[in-house]
Amino acid sequence: MNYTFTLRTIYPYLGELWQAAAVTLWLSSLAIVLSIALGAGIAVLRRSRLRLLRVLGAVYVEIMRNTPLLVILYVVYFAAPAIGIRLSSFVAALLGLTLNSAGYMAEILRAGLIAVAPGQFEAAQSQGMTGWQVFRHVVFPQVFRTIYAPLGNQVIAVILASSLASAVAVEDVASWMQTVGSTSFRFFETFVIAAIVYLVLCQTVNIARLLIGRWLFRQGATR
């Protein structure tokens, strides 16, 4: 029997798709911001002079980078209630995504810090710069240039990873795909539409990253 590709049976569900896409964007955006903040803290720990803090930072990174995100989501959503921690599906997905992504963000930020030679700190301080001025004029521009590309890649990775949030009942694009596919029995069509949505989201971020990067670094080069 020949299969006929048709989207007519999917049209009634497109209104729900926009809501699902909004959930995916909101979840991903929050996870990105929070994981950058947490990753920055972990990166500082890994650069600490205290061995204990460096070990704690390294242990966190290794655990998060070597544990599947799905397992982390299951622990947060299904196992945590056993010790009295009950979270909504959205909060559990946000926490799982943040914890996982922070392990990668920490390494990206640490690489940026390593790129700044220690002698530059001493040279800046010898010029009478305050700690904030050293960070603003010496450290941050170099760190930002180093981490810009991998940071953009990690943002895209978080958007794609957010599809696993459907496993803990978050009504995102992946959840829409599963629900509409089982309701309409047009799984292939729903898979294609969901893939297009993720493709558009990720390519929009990628194009924005390229354009912003060209503008920022061109501006920096002319100063």
Q: Quickly list DSSP for the chain.
A: -------TTTGGGHHHHHHHHHHHHHHHHHHHHHHHHHHHHHHHHHT-SSHHHHHHHHHHHHHHHSS-HHHHHHIIIIIGGGGT----HHHHHHHHHHHHHHHHHHHHHHHHHHTS-HHHHHHHHHTT--HHHHIIIIIHHHHHHHHHHHHHHHHHHHHHHGGGGGGGT--SHHHHHHHHHHHHS-HHHHHHHHHHHHHHHHHHHHHHHHHHHHHHHHHHHT-
Higher pLDDT, residue 146 or 156: 156
Q: What is the number of alpha carbons within 13 Å of residue 58 lying toward its C-beta? A: 9
pLDDT category of residue 115 using cuts at 50, 70 and 90: confident
Given a cut of 80, whether residue 120 has pLDDT beyond it is no
Please check whether residue 31 lies inside any domain of the structure. Answer: yes
| % of residues, the chain, pLDDT over 90 | 63
What CATH number did the domain enclosing 199 receive?
A: 1.10.3720.10
pLDDT at site 220 = 52
pLDDT at site 135 = 74
pLDDT at site 1 = 61
Total number of domains constituting the chain: 1
pTM for this prediction:
0.88
**Residue with tokens 């799984």, as numbered in its chain:** 187
Please check whether residue 6 lies inside any domain of the structure. Answer: no
Q: Across residues 18-28, what is the average pLDDT? A: 96
pLDDT category of residue 26 using cuts at 50, 70 and 90: very high
Given a cut of 70, whether residue 62 has pLDDT beyond it is yes
Task: Determine the structural domain holding residue 114 and report its residue range.
Answer: 14-221
pLDDT at site 7 = 82
How do residues 80-99 score in pLDDT, each as one tens digit? 988 888 999 999 999 999 99
Q: Across residues 33-41, what is the average pLDDT? A: 96
pLDDT at site 145 = 86
Please check whether residue 35 lies inside any domain of the structure. Answer: yes
Please check whether residue 183 lies inside any domain of the structure. Answer: yes
Please check whether residue 2 lies inside any domain of the structure. Answer: no
> Alpha-carbon distance 64 to 102, whole Å?
8
Please check whether residue 1 lies inside any domain of the structure. Answer: no
pLDDT category of residue 41 using cuts at 50, 70 and 90: very high
pLDDT at site 177 = 94
Given a cut of 60, whether residue 221 has pLDDT beyond it is no
- 21-30, 146-155, 212-221 — most confident range: 21-30
How do residues 166-200 score in pLDDT, each as one tens digit? 999 999 999 999 999 998 888 899 999 999 999 99
Please check whether residue 205 lies inside any domain of the structure. Answer: yes
Please check whether residue 9 lies inside any domain of the structure. Answer: no
